[in-house]
Amino acid sequence: MHVAIPLYPRFTALDVVGPYTVLAFAPGWTVTLVAAQAGPVTDDQGSLTLTATASYADVGRPDLIVVPGGPGTLEAMSDEALLAWIRQTHEHTRWTTSVCSGSLLLGAAGLLEGLEATSHWAVLDMLRQAGAEPVSERVVTQGKIVTAAGVSAGIDMALTLLGQATDVATAQAVQLAIEYDPQPPFHAGSPKSAPEGTSERALKLIV
């Protein structure tokens, strides 16, 4: 399986590297970080730079794409080169997926019309602008379009897809290889569980 993850300015690093690590550990899978041009792309904090090793023109026909989110998503929604790549690649993918606000890019590419989808809780309602029905779930599957909730949800989505593409034993082996036995020290990971006032604080942190 060939996976491609597009980078654009001000992406959120964990949106990319969560699914990357899960899928790149899978035996025989390759993951390519891709952008308009090959080269460095810097994240939302301005302090982490990943290298795209292929341009959209050179990446071929990936089987699976994972579109990350981040504060840069809003600007990327008018990046016609990115949207055209998503649209064209989607024609041949087994899965077209997103993490966090990356689903707004699937929407801007015209892929979510009439479908249920999820996103980061802070922008979930914006999915309606693309004709999608926002759903507050960790991972939402609609045929070959799969959307995940905010940032860390990409890890859960990637393990789910890996189990479907290979077999449960392989996905479990990857889960054990990355020792994904989460033990968050607080119960604050979703707007439903977080203490009152946490959402307001969190919104201020989202650059």
Query: Cβ of residue 9: shortest distance to its own copies, in angstroms?
Result: 14
Query: Cβ of residue 104: shortest distance to its own copies, in angstroms?
Result: 15
**117 is known as an active-site residue:** no
β-sheet bridge partners, residue 55: 35
Say which of 41, 77, 100, 162 is annotated catalytic.
Answer: 100
Q: Give 32 or 83: the residue with its C-beta nearer to its own copies.
A: 32
Query: Cβ of residue 60: shortest distance to its own copies, in angstroms?
Result: 14
How far, in Å, CA of 179 to CA of 155, rounded?
A: 12
Q: Give 143 or 186: the residue with its C-beta nearer to its own copies.
A: 186
Q: Give 51 or 84: the residue with its C-beta nearer to its own copies.
A: 51
Residues tagged active-site: 100
